[in-house]
């Protein structure tokens, strides 16, 4: 469904993503992990059209989307969320989600019905009328997912939607991601915390200094010497998982 | 998003009845000016309020409209209506160009580029003697009749009212329609809007272009009503700020806000001018002090303007409930 061919993105002298190859199959839930500054978010920015890679190509459903603007990529069926959530702060939760729906439906009325359904799925129904900026972080992360879902993606990129959540919120988010995956959505999930990811993804890609250093099942990745070195001092996290 | 249909009905209804009840030319004159300023501020609101493209150069489009209407009569002996249409065409082009060029600029940088644009037009208008009559300005010939826009006070009230109501309708459309929601997304966060499939750059150009055309119509009518076009006034930063100020004081991003702001400021200004003119000329600039004070008060205490205040007065409990739920 998604293919990255030797994608490289540099910022001046710094190579944030180096020659990354990636293949994501339809219906898969792929995890991308790596320490801070490993290039995870940069990779998302390249896939979603925010950065043009200096080298390599991004293929979505067989189509070359390298360098296309983000809104076109979204309309093709690939939507991303932001690690630092970007809610439309002065608008209600419902309006936020409706703006996503309106990318697929032209009538405001059907967008509202559509948004209501997505809000229900994401457990935001009690807050539909609240201003987005009044929501606590756990709900804002949910809103970020809800808004992206409203654009009816076939591939959804989630950038650290579990970071900063308390244990109850985390469980809710994991359940939501599992449900979306079970319903047939293809997902790529970035997470800094490995424990949550180990339970969620069947296949994990590890980035370090912009390079892919390991790929495989959670167990394989956790046993990989280079991964353990990259996460030096976090071995206990792997052990726990 | 608050359209305030009841408030609008009251306001525009009162304006429609005013010529029946009031014969005083001074008051009717103030009403026409209020309605024109309200409409021009509503036009500014389309870009500044709904799309979040805060311009401080909208005098450029106002001036284009004013000059187009005035020159149509004074230079070409044509109807000012044709001038108005030419002004709209020019403003569409100018709005499209400035919107396109400043596409990547955000916030203060966009505002600065619009100021620069209006200043360029000021220089052109004040130096191009052969065509615009330069810094002397152009008197607009008065020829009675609708086609020549030589109207009495009562007719002007209804013409200005028609434009004001039309622009109110445009704003309500921008609150309720698909494109309105998308503009709100662009205003709140461009990156997020782009991620959700909105062609943010194109939408911004559309909003600025529409706003420019609407502003230009007000300029054309204003020129005909006042009867004289002075480049240092119609292209001034003062005027640009005025559109923004009316809207911010009234309630930015609300359909009724620009009219409330225009009425409040124009009424104060007219009253102060009438009261402090003549012998006590030391007070001629006092309305500027009022402007500044009003702006400070609004930004400090009413960041959402008069309509925001009305909303708070009307449903304080509902708002509190939502907030409680969100924090629960």
Structure confidence by residue, pLDDT tens digits, B28-76: 899 999 999 999 999 999 999 999 899 999 999 999 999 999 998 878 8
- pLDDT score of B84: 93
Round to the nearest angstrom and report the end-to-end CA distance of chain A: 29
Tokens of B16: 């429609």
Least confident of A165-169, B194-198, B300-304: B300-304
Inter-chain touch A134–B197, beta carbons under 8 Å:
no
Q: Does A231 score more than 50 pLDDT?
A: yes
- pLDDT score of B285: 67
The arithmetic mean of pLDDT across residues B273-302, rounded, is 70
Euclidean distance between CA atoms B111 and B52, whole angstroms? 11
Please check whether residue A204 is in contact with residue A30, taking contact to mean a CB–CB distance below 8 angstroms: yes
Tokens of B225: 């009503």
Partnered with residue A186 across adjacent β-strands are A155
pLDDT tier at B268, thresholds 50, 70, 90? confident
Q: Does A163 score more than 90 pLDDT?
A: no
The arithmetic mean of pLDDT across residues B167-189, rounded, is 94
Inter-chain touch B325–A139, beta carbons under 8 Å:
no
Least confident of A77-86, A226-235, B316-325: B316-325
Which chain B positions have a beta carbon within 8 Å of A108's beta carbon? 176-178, 181
Euclidean distance between CA atoms B69 and B229, whole angstroms? 10
Tokens of B91: 């403003």
pLDDT (tens digit, 9 = 90+) per residue, B2-13?
A: 557 888 888 998
Radius of gyration of chain A (CA): 18
What angle separates helix A93-101 from helix B178-188, to the nearest 10 degrees?
A: 110
Q: Which of A87, A141, A46 is nearest to B184 (CA)?
A: A87
If 0-12 CB within 10 Å is exposed, 13-18 middle and 19+ buried, where does residue B136 land?
Answer: exposed
Q: Any residues with CB less than 8 A from the CB of A63 and at least 6 apart, and which?
A: A76
Q: Which of B89, B88, B71 is nearest to B80 (CA)?
A: B71
Radius of gyration of chain B (CA): 20
Q: Which of B1, B196, B326 sits opposite A99 (nearest CB)?
A: B196
Beta-strand ranges (E) seen in chain B are 138-139, 228-229
Inter-chain touch B197–A80, beta carbons under 8 Å:
no
Q: Which of A91, A106, A131 sits opposite B178 (nearest CB)?
A: A106
Least confident of B5-14, B61-70, B255-264, B292-301: B292-301
Please check whether residue A71 is in contact with residue B198, taking contact to mean a CB–CB distance below 8 angstroms: yes
- Please calculate the CA angle A170-A230-A172 and round it to the nearest 5 degrees: 5
Q: Give the 3-state secondary structure of residue A123.
A: coil
What angle separates helix B25-45 from helix B153-176, to the nearest 10 degrees?
A: 20
Tokens of A86: 């970007």
* Contact with chain B for residue A108, Cβ under 8 A: yes
Q: Any residues with CB less than 8 A from the CB of B17 and at least 6 apart, and which?
A: none
Tokens of B242: 């005025």
Euclidean distance between CA atoms A193 and B81, whole angstroms? 67
* Contact with chain B for residue A154, Cβ under 8 A: no
Q: Does B323 score more than 50 pLDDT?
A: no
Which chain A positions have a beta carbon within 8 Å of B177's beta carbon? 108
Q: Does A236 score more than 80 pLDDT?
A: no
- pLDDT score of B277: 62
Which chain B positions have a beta carbon within 8 Å of A98's beta carbon? 181
In the predicted model, what is the mean pLDDT of chain B? 85
How far is B93 from chain A, CA to nearest CA, in Å?
A: 25
Euclidean distance between CA atoms B221 and B149, whole angstroms? 8
The DSSP result for A64-105, as a single string, is E-TT--HHHHHHHTEEE--SS----TTSBHHHHHHHHHTTT-
What angle separates helix B257-276 from helix B286-301, to the nearest 10 degrees?
A: 150
Which chain A positions have a beta carbon within 8 Å of B189's beta carbon? 86-89
Q: Which of B79, B43, B61, B94 is nearest to B234 (CA)?
A: B61
- Please calculate the CA angle A87-A95-A149 and round it to the nearest 5 degrees: 70
Distance of CA A95 to the CA centre of its chain: 22
Which chain A positions have a beta carbon within 8 Å of B196's beta carbon? 71, 74, 79, 99-100, 103, 147-148, 150-151
Partnered with residue A203 across adjacent β-strands are A30
What's B47's DSSP letter? I
Euclidean distance between CA atoms B113 and A102, whole angstroms? 32
In the predicted model, what is the mean pLDDT of chain A? 91
Least confident of A61-75, B124-138, B170-184: B124-138
How far is A136 from chain B, CA to nearest CA, in Å?
A: 7
Inter-chain touch A99–B322, beta carbons under 8 Å:
no
This complex has an ipTM of 0.90
Q: Does A179 score more than 80 pLDDT?
A: yes
Percent of chain A with pLDDT over 70: 96
Q: Any residues with CB less than 8 A from the CB of A188 and at least 6 apart, and which?
A: A2, A24, A30, A31, A32, A44, A47, A155, A156, A157, A158
- pLDDT score of A237: 53
In angstroms, the Cα distances linking B283 to A140, B233, B287, B294, B297 are: 53, 20, 8, 17, 21
Percent of chain B with pLDDT over 90: 44
The residue that leads in pLDDT, B31 or B129, is B31
pLDDT tier at B189, thresholds 50, 70, 90? very high
How far is B173 from chain A, CA to nearest CA, in Å?
A: 12
Q: Give the 3-state secondary structure of residue A20.
A: strand
The DSSP result for B108-173, as a single string, is HHHHHHHHHHHHHHHHHHHH-HHHH-GGG-EEPP--BBTTTTB--HHHHHHHHHHHHHHHHHHHHH
The residue that leads in pLDDT, B208 or A231, is B208
* Contact with chain B for residue A27, Cβ under 8 A: no
- pLDDT score of B270: 78
* Contact with chain B for residue A84, Cβ under 8 A: no
Which chain B positions have a beta carbon within 8 Å of A75's beta carbon? 197
Q: Does B287 score more than 80 pLDDT?
A: no
Count of A-B CB contacts under 8 Å:
96
Q: Does B251 score more than 60 pLDDT?
A: yes
Inter-chain touch B188–A148, beta carbons under 8 Å:
no
Tokens of B268: 């104060």
| Closest-approach residue (CA) in chain A for B320 | A130
């Amino acid at each position: 469904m998604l293919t990255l061919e030797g994608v490289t993105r540099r910022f001046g002298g710094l190579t944030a993503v180096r020659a990354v190859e990636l293949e994501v199959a339809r219906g898969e839930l792929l995890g991308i992990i790596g320490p801070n500054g490993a290039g995870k978010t940069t990779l998302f920015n390249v896939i979603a059209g925010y950065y043009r890679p200096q080298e390599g190509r991004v293929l979505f459903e067989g189509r070359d989307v390298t360098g296309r603007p983000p809104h076109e990529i979204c309309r093709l069926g690939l939507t991303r969320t932001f690690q630092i959530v970007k809610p439309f702060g002065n608008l209600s939760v419902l309006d936020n989600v409706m703006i996503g729906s309106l990318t697929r439906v032209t009538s405001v009325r059907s967008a509202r019905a559509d948004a209501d359904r997505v809000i229900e799925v994401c457990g935001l129904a009690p807050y539909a009328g609240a201003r987005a900026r009044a929501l606590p972080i756990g709900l804002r992360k949910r809103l970020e997912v809800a808004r992206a879902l409203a654009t009816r993606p076939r591939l959804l990129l989630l950038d650290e939607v579990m970071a900063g959540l308390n244990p109850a919120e985390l469980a809710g988010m994991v359940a939501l991601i599992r449900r979306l995956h079970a319903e047939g959505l293809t997902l790529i999930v970035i997470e800094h915390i490995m424990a949550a990811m180990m339970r969620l993804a069947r296949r994990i890609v590890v980035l370090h200094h912009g390079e892919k250093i390991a790929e495989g099942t959670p167990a394989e990745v956790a046993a990989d010497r280079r991964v353990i070195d990259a996460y030096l001092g976090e071995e206990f996290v792997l052990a726990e998982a | 998003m608050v359209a305030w249909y009841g408030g609008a009905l009251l306001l525009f209804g009162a304006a429609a009845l005013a010529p029946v009840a009031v014969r005083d030319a001074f008051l009717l004159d103030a009403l026409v000016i209020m309605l024109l300023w309200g409409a021009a501020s509503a036009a500014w609101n389309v870009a500044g309020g709904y799309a979040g493209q805060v311009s401080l150069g909208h005098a450029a489009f106002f001036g284009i409209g004013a000059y187009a209407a005035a020159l149509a009569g004074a230079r070409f002996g044509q109807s000012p209506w044709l001038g108005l249409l030419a002004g709209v065409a020019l403003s569409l082009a100018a709005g499209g160009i400035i919107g396109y060029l400043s596409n990547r600029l955000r916030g203060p940088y966009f505002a600065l580029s619009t100021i620069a644009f209006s200043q360029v037009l000021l220089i052109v208008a004040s130096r191009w003697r052969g065509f615009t009559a330069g810094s002397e300005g152009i008197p607009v010939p008065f020829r009675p009749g609708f086609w020549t826009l030589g109207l009495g006070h009562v007719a002007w009230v209804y013409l200005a009212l028609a434009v004001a109501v039309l622009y109110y309708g445009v704003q309500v459309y921008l609150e309720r329609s698909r494109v309105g929601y998308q503009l709100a997304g662009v205003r709140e966060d461009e990156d997020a809007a782009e991620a959700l499939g909105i062609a943010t750059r194109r939408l911004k150009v559309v909003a600025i272009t529409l706003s420019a055309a609407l502003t230009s119509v007000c300029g054309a009518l204003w020129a005909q009503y006042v009867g004289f076009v002075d480049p240092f006034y119609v292209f001034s930063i003062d005027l640009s700020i005025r559109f923004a100020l009316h809207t911010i004081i009234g309630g930015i991003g609300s359909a009724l806000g620009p009219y409330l702001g225009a009425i409040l400021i124009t009424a104060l200004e007219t009253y102060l001018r009438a009261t402090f003119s003549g012998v006590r000329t030391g007070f001629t600039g006092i309305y500027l002090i009022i402007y500044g004070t009003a702006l400070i008060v609004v930004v400090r205490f009413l960041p959402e303007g008069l309509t925001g205040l009305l909303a708070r007065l009307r449903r304080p409990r509902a708002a509190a409930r939502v907030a409680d739920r969100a924090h629960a």
